[in-house]
Amino acid sequence: MDIERLVSLLDNPADARSWLETLGVDNAERGQRNLEHLSQCGMTLDLLAVIVGQLAKHLPSMSDPGMALNSFERFVAQTRSPLAFGSLLERDPESLAILLQIMSTSQYLADLLIRDPDVFDLLRITEGQPVARQVLVDEIRAEVERANDERMAMSVLRRYKQRETLRIAYG
C-alpha cells in the first residue's frame, strides 16, 4: 500500500471502514480504531504502509479477520519496540502471516502472545520445534532456583507452560 492511500484511510474513517469490510473485518468500526492505534504506536508511515499492505493481503484468508486485526494491534502495543517489530515484518513478511494465523484461530493463544510478545521470536527461531527435554528442564530449574519465593517460582512455571502451549500450536 502506498503512503497516500494509508493517509487517506487514516483521515477518512468511513473509507477505512469500507475498506476493512472488503477484507472480511466484521466490526469495521473497531478495525478502523485498530488502524488508528497502529498509526500512533511509533512506526513510520512508510513502514506502516508496508504492514497495512501485508494485512490487506493476509486478512481475507484468515478464519476471523477482525479478531486477527484487533489482536495484532494489541500485540504491537505490547512489544518493546513497535518500530523494530515493524521492521522485522518488513524484512520477513511470512512472520506476519504466521502471527495472524495464530491470532485468528484462537483468542486464548492470541492473548498468550500479547501477554508475552517476546515468545513470538522464540517461536520463529525454533520454528515451533521442541527444545531438547534436558535443555528445557535445565532452563526451568535454573529460573526456579533464582526465584525469591513460591509465587515467583509459580510464575516461571506458568510462563514456560504458556510458551510450550504456543510452541505446540505453532508447530
- 19/103 same-domain check: yes
Q: What is the pLDDT of residues 126-168, one digit of tens each?
A: 888 888 899 999 999 999 999 999 999 999 999 999 999 998 8
- Separation CA 10–CA 12 (nearest Å): 6
Confidence bin at 30 (pLDDT 50/70/90): very high
Q: Calculate mean pLDDT across residues 63-70.
A: 98
Does residue 66 register a pLDDT over 80? yes
Same domain for 157 and 88, yes or no, is: no
Residue 128, Cβ density class (10 Å: 0-12 exposed, 13-18 middle, ≥19 buried): middle
C-beta of residue 160 within 8 angstroms of C-beta of residue 140: yes
pLDDT of residue 128: 81
The whole domain housing 92 covers: 3-126
CA 152/CA 158 separation, integer angstroms: 10
What one-character DSSP code corresponds to residue 131? P
- Count structural domains, the chain: 2
Domain shared by 118 and 132, yes or no: no
Q: Residue 124 pLDDT > 90, yes or no?
A: no
- The confidence score (pLDDT) of residue 7 equals 97
Please tell me the predicted confidence (pLDDT) of residue 156: 94
One domain for residues 58 and 114: yes
User: How confident is residue 122, by pLDDT bands cut at 50, 70 and 90?
Assistant: confident
Mean pLDDT of 31-59: 97
Are residues 22 and 63 located together in one domain of the fold?
Answer: yes
Residue 165 and residue 103 in one domain: no
